């Protein structure tokens, strides 16, 4: 698993998808830059989400609110007082950890053990699997699961009650060690606020303390009345937004899974009080279907319903994805009640209510939100698509089998030789298709090498121009996945590409 993850990271860098930020200065921890291919893939993911949310839903509109906001917003939202992670240091290694993540990782290992028992039993099943063995396996799996559940429940309870001493005892009881050094010498657990502070204004004494937003959602809440009045939407209606968010994460060791600067795609759906759980269930299903439509495999997704609810929620679930390091949160769906709008009413003194003509009353709407990390989605799509294939002739190829609609480059135009009118014809095709698709032209290296480079960045089509093309205006088009080549008239290219790459 670790090897797979390493391959993902090095492939992302080698092929211009993701670079460590400020690399020539040795990088900046947990901050990354998207390269030429990464920027395209990221934009396509944004479009895929925006289309599904804003364009296809008559009652959802977009928003692009500022990163800097009035500081009282973060007081109202609870971020100043409660946006903390429990932090623990190892006294020997001087390394810092998130206490809850240490416990959760321990529980994930119990889950792995249970899965291994199941796999072992399944293997034996084919041979002579007697009832006795089945029962032993079953008992063990049930024990692992029960232990995991008890630990997680205790963790959740101590975290909600801010009983950090209990989190520390849990870590000691489970004999959890620093994963790198094995040391079990821990400090006490303390809270650490994740917001980045900054200053507004020039002179030191008149400057105002601000925060970089840790989520995009608050920009939507504070604009609720503006958007509702100007869009004239009745409830239920939604506001969607894509934008940067910043968190001073304690543990940031998983590439773009946990970054300090990242991008969120959030949608807040405003509904009448009392109907929120119905909409919550509906959005859970809709969002899962959206993921499945990407075709990365149903087995890679699961719901995780929360037992520990945040202070603002009355129901919450994650859509977890099977990343190279295991199942982890990709998207959150939360029923946030009227917590945020009511809090902003209180702190701003402005009414954030809706007059419901059917109920003939004013009320603060309830909110169901769907919140996905764009970078996590990128990692999910990228890591699942990266494949090493052994071909029929025994050779290997690396292929990034991205859904064609998401591929950074839709087609590569490859003149076989730099002579006999081939480059000119290639340029003509390029100029003809460039308004519709992101395409590139490549004339360096052997054709085999060029194919391999396009496979590695996920280009669905390679179009080769040879001597015959100059005569009869036909070209070969090679499919990334089947590697089959077909001779087609130039004039058919647009249609062939379009059929495969449109959303
Ligand atoms: P986690 O438990 O993994 O820290 P979270 O529950 O704090 O995540 P939310 O506050 O619900 O996350 O944010 C919504 C989404 O934003 C998450 O599902 C995730 O995809 C994304 N996200 C959150 N924090 C980060 C981060 N540091 N880097 C990248 N994406 C993130």
The ranges assigned to domains in the chain are 1-64+217-399, 99-180, 409-501
pLDDT score, position 41: 98
Distance 445 CA to ligand 1 centre (A): 43
Whether 1-64+217-399 shares its CATH topology with 409-501 is answered no
pLDDT score, position 129: 58
pLDDT score, position 162: 84
**Residue 259 annotated as lining a ligand binding site:** yes
Predicted TM-score (pTM) of the model is 0.89
pLDDT score, position 122: 76
pLDDT score, position 202: 74
The residue whose CB lies within 8 Å of the most ligand 1 atoms, and thus the one to mutate among 156, 218, 256, 262, is: 262
CB-ligand 1 contact for 376 (6 Å cutoff): yes
pLDDT score, position 133: 73
CB-ligand 1 contact for 329 (6 Å cutoff): yes
Tell the residue number behind the tokens 């600067």, with chain if given.
261
Per-residue pLDDT of the chain (503 residues; tens, 9 = 90+): 678 999 999 999 999 999 999 999 999 999 999 999 999 999 999 999 999 999 999 999 999 999 999 999 999 999 999 889 999 999 999 998 999 999 999 998 998 888 888 888 777 766 555 667 777 888 889 999 999 999 999 998 898 888 999 999 999 999 999 988 999 999 999 999 999 999 888 776 777 889 999 999 999 999 999 999 999 999 999 999 999 999 999 877 789 999 999 999 999 999 999 999 999 999 999 999 999 999 999 999 999 999 778 778 899 999 999 999 999 999 999 999 999 999 999 999 999 999 999 999 999 999 999 999 999 999 999 999 999 999 888 999 999 999 999 999 999 999 999 999 999 999 999 999 999 999 999 999 999 999 999 999 999 999 999 999 999 999 999 999 999 999 999 999 999 999 999 88
CB-ligand 1 contact for 331 (6 Å cutoff): yes
CATH architecture of 409-501: 3-Layer(aba) Sandwich (3.40)
Distance 296 CA to ligand 1 centre (A): 21
* Nearest residue to 54 (alpha-carbon basis) of 370, 244, 267: 267
Rounded alpha-carbon distances, angstroms, from residue 375 to 214, 292, 318, 383: 15, 18, 16, 12
Interface predicted TM-score (ipTM): 0.97
pLDDT score, position 224: 97
Looking at domain 1-64+217-399, its CATH superfamily turns out to be Bira Bifunctional Protein; Domain 2 (3.30.930.10)
pLDDT score, position 381: 98
Per 3-state DSSP, the chain is made up of helix, strand and coil in percentages (nearest 5) of: 45, 25, 30
Neighbours of 410 (CB within 10 A): 24
Are 383 and 324 a contacting pair, CB within 8 Å?
yes
């Amino acid at each position: 698993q670790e090897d797979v993850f390493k391959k993902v990271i090095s492939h992302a860098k080698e092929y211009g998808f993701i670079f460590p930020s400020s690399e020539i200065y040795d990088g900046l921890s947990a901050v990354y830059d998207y390269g030429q291919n990464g920027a395209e893939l990221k934009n396509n993911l944004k479009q895929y989400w925006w289309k599904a949310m804003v364009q296809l839903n008559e009652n959802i509109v977009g928003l692009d609110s500022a990163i800097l906001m009035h500081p009282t917003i973060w007081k109202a939202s609870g971020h100043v007082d409660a946006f903390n992670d429990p932090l623990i240091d190892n006294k020997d290694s001087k390394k810092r950890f998130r206490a809850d993540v240490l416990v959760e990782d321990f529980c994930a290992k119990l889950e792995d053990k249970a899965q291994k028992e199941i796999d072992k039993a399944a293997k034996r099943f084919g041979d002579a699997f007697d009832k006795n063995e089945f029962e032993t396996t079953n008992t063990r799996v049930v024990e692992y699961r029960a232990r995991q559940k008890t630990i997680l429940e205790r963790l959740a309870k101590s975290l909600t009650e801010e009983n950090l001493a209990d989190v520390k005892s849990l870590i000691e009881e489970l004999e959890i060690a620093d994963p790198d050094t094995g040391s079990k010498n821990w400090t006490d657990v303390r809270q650490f606020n994740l917001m980045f502070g900054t200053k507004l204004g020039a002179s030191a004494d008149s400057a105002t303390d601000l925060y970089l937003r840790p989520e995009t959602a608050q920009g939507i809440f504070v604009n609720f009345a503006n958007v509702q009045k100007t869009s004239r939407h009745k409830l239920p209606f939604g506001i969607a937004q894509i934008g940067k968010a910043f968190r001073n994460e304690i543990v940031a060791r998983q590439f773009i899974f946990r970054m300090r600067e990242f991008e969120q795609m959030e949608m807040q759906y405003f509904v009448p009080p009392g109907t929120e759980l119905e909409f919550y269930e509906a959005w859970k299903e809709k969002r899962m279907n959206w993921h499945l439509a990407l075709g990365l495999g149903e087995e890679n997704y699961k719901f995780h319903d929360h037992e520990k609810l945040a202070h603002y929620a009355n129901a919450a679930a994650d859509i977890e994805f099977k990343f190279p390091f295991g199942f982890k949160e990709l998207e959150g769906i939360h029923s946030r009640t009227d917590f945020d709008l009511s809090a902003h009413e209180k702190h701003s003194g402005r009414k954030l209510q809706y007059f419901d003509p059917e109920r003939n009353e004013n009320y603060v709407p309830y909110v169901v939100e769907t919140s996905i990390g764009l970078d996590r989605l990128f990692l999910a799509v990228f890591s699942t698509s990266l494949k090493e294939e052994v071909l029929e002739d025994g050779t290997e190829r690396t292929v990034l089998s991205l859904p064609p609609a998401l591929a950074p480059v839709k087609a590569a135009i490859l003149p076989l030789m730099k002579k006999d009118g081939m480059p000119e014809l290639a340029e003509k095709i390029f100029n003809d298709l460039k308004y519709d698709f992101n395409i590139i032209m490549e004339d360096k290296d052997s054709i085999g090498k060029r194919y391999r480079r396009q496979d590695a960045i996920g280009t669905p089509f390679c179009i080769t121009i040879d001597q015959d093309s100059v005569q009869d205006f036909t070209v070969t088009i090679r499919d990334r996945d089947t590697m089959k080549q077909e001779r087609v008239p130039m004039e058919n290219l647009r249609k062939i590409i379009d059929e495969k790459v449109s959303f």
